[in-house]
Each structure stands twice: as C-alpha cells, then as structure tokens.
C-alpha cells in the first residue's frame, strides 16, 4: 500500500518563469537516468526481491522516495511554466525561426532553445513523462534482474549518471529557487551512491553474492584460461599500464594477464545456406521448392523438434 502526504519532501519555488529551463528539467524526470527510471527500477527490484527482508525493505524505501522526487520536479516545472507564452506573435518577421533564417543563424539552434510545445498543447503547462526532447519514458530503461549484486551495480550506475545530470542542470540556472531545490536532490544522489556501494559491500560480506556475477555459476564450466586476460584490441599499448592488466584479479580468483597481440581462436565463418522457401541468395542455384513442406509446416517442425 502506498500512502501520499501532501507536503513535498523539499521545495523552493523559482523566482521567475523560465519555459526553456522547464524543457531541460524534463530530462531529470523522464530521461534514461531520470527519476522515473530509478523509481521504477528500485520498486520492481523490491517487488521481485526473494532475498533477505532488509534488502527488500531498503529497495522499497528508496523507490518510494523517488516518487517524491518526481513530484518535486513536476511542481518545479509547473512554476517555471507559469505565465509562459502560449501563442506566437502573428507578425512573421518577429518569429524567432524566421528571424534566424533571415539573419543567417542556424534555425535548429533556435528550435532547440525554444519552449517545449507539448507543455502548452498536451499537458496544459505541466510536466510530462518524457525527456528534454519529448521522447516518452520507456520501461526498457529499468533493470530488475532478480540478482541483487547485478541490480545494485546498475543502481550505482544510474545514481552516478543522475547526479551528473542534476549537477549540470544546477550549473545551467541562475535562479536561487531552482538551485536550492536541485541542491537537495544532488545531496540525496550523494547518499544514494553511498547507499549502493554499502549495499554491494553488505551483500558480498553476507556471502550471498560475489564477483563474477552470477557467482552461483561454477567457474570450472567457463574457459578459465581466458577469464583474466586483457586483450589489446587497438593500436598502442598504453592500456598495459592499468590495474586491469597485471597483478591479482579484483575477485581474488586469478591473475591478470596482458595479451598485446590477441589472435583469433575460431575459424572463418561459413554461414549455413538459406532455406529455399525463404528465397535468400545462396552460393549455388537452388531447385524449385514445390516438392517440400511449406514454410509454415517447416517452422512447426522446428518448434516441435522434428527436423527430418
């Protein structure tokens, strides 16, 4: 059960409207690393968690917190769009895009800097579930694998990218209210990066998961002679100076080895020839297909395992 309280987690309103900045803030809501992504990612990880209760509870705590962050940003966008112009001037010469063409500047720069028209047309001067260029938020952005170590690493990545974007947005504004609100969200991103590092450490110390993920797969079933080799696949050997190229592996289970000139270990590919009923181009002319089962029957045979 979710329970909503009306006061925001934190909020300082902007001092003046700024519809262009409102368009940019959409990235922090519906972008790949926006609050909608981390909200859904943590909630689905929590709902799917079959491990110790402390991990499930923590995931649902943080996922629910992120709902509040979206509410803060949506409220900020509403303030930034307040009294925003919703009708272009009728004088075509004053149209900024027309002026850009006549003045020799790039119209794309003007379009990119303009207010998001969907804020007026679609949402009535409110936030939308999309990024800063209007691309709708997508559930494919989230990671919820059921393996907590893999998921916690994805969470650390998401919070790192999210804090980076929030800091960039902070630098793009001179409005004290905007900067104050973002400073709270940046602080929470700091906590959440530390949270996921702590959760990774806690999970590994518990013995439930370890590197490599999934640690439950027996390493003797992989080609272990290649497990800790670094392959130099570009010109130059500067990569040989890195921690990944020598010494004990990070998981403590092997020794890094630098391979300066890796060689192919497989044959030249010889793809199988196409089924004549698909009418692909084969190496040699193909006979007519009238005496063979039709394609639907052939696919049915493949699904049932009857390939004769």
Predicted TM-score (pTM) of the model is 0.84
The pair of three-digit structure tokens given for residue 197, joined into one six-digit string: 């590092």
Note the pLDDT of residue 44: 98
Note the pLDDT of residue 88: 36
Give the C-alpha separation, 199 to 189, whole Å.
15
Note the pLDDT of residue 96: 55
Note the pLDDT of residue 109: 52
Task: Name the residue among 181, 166, 222, 219 with its Cα closest to residue 29.
Answer: 166
Q: Which residues of the chain have pLDDT under 50?
A: 87-94, 97-98, 101-102, 111
Q: Cβ distance 156 to 193 under 8 Å?
A: yes
Note the pLDDT of residue 240: 97
Task: Name the residue among 173, 74, 180 with its Cα closest to residue 127.
Answer: 74
Give all strands of the β-sheet with 229-231 in edge-to-edge order.
229-231, 255-259, 247-248
> Which residues have a Cβ under 8 Å from the Cβ of 3 and sit 6 or more positions away?
none
Note the pLDDT of residue 307: 60
**DSSP annotation string for the chain:** -----SS-SS----SS--HHHHHHHHHHHHSTTSHHHHHHHHHHHHHH--S-HHHHHHHHHHHHHHHHHHHHHHHHHHHHTTT---S--S-GGG-HHHHHHHHTS-HHHHHHHS--HHHHHTSSSS--SB-TTSPBP-GGG----S-HHHHHHHHHHHHHHHHHHHHHHHHT---HHHHHHHHHHHHHHHHHHHHHHHHHHHHHHTTS--SSSSTTS-GGGS-GGGTTEEE--SSSSGGGGSGGGSEE-TTSSSEEEEESS----SPPP-PPPPPGGGT---SS-----TTS--HHHHHHHHHHT---
Q: Would you call 59 exposed, middle or buried from its count of C-beta atoms within 10 A (0-12, 13-18, 19+)?
A: buried
Note the pLDDT of residue 133: 92
pLDDT tens column, 89-123:
333 334 554 455 445 555 555 545 578 888 988 99
């Amino acid at each position: 059960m979710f329970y909503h309280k009306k006061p925001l987690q934190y909020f300082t309103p902007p001092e003046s409207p700024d519809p262009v900045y409102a368009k940019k803030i959409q990235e922090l809501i519906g972008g790949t690393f926006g609050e909608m992504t981390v909200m859904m990612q943590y909630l689905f990880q929590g709902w799917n968690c079959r491990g110790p209760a402390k991990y499930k509870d923590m995931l649902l705590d943080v996922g629910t917190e992120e709902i509040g962050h979206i509410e803060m940003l949506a409220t900020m966008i509403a303030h930034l769009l307040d009294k925003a112009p919703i009708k272009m001037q009728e004088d075509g010469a004053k149209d900024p895009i027309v002026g850009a063409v006549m003045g020799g500047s790039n119209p794309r720069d003007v379009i990119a800097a303009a207010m998001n028209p969907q804020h007026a047309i679609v949402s009535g001067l409110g936030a939308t579930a999309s990024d800063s260029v209007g691309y709708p938020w997508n559930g494919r952005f989230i990671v919820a694998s059921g393996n907590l170590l893999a998921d916690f690493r994805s969470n650390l990545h998401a919070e790192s990218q999210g804090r980076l974007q929030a800091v960039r947005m902070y630098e793009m504004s001179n409005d004290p209210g905007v900067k104050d609100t973002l400073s709270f969200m940046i602080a929470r991103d700091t906590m959440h990066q530390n949270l996921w590092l702590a959760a990774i450490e806690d999970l590994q110390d518990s013995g439930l998961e370890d590197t490599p993920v999934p640690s439950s797969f027996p390493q003797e079933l992989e080609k272990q002679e290649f497990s800790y080799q670094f392959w130099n696949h570009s010109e130059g050997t500067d990569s040989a100076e890195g921690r990944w190229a020598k010494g004990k592996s990070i998981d403590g289970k092997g020794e890094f080895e630098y391979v300066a000139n890796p060689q192919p270990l497989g044959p030249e590919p010889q793809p199988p020839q196409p089924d004549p009923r698909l009418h692909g181009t084969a190496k040699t002319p193909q006979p007519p297909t009238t005496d063979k089962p039709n394609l639907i029957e052939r696919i049915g045979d493949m699904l049932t395992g009857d390939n004769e």
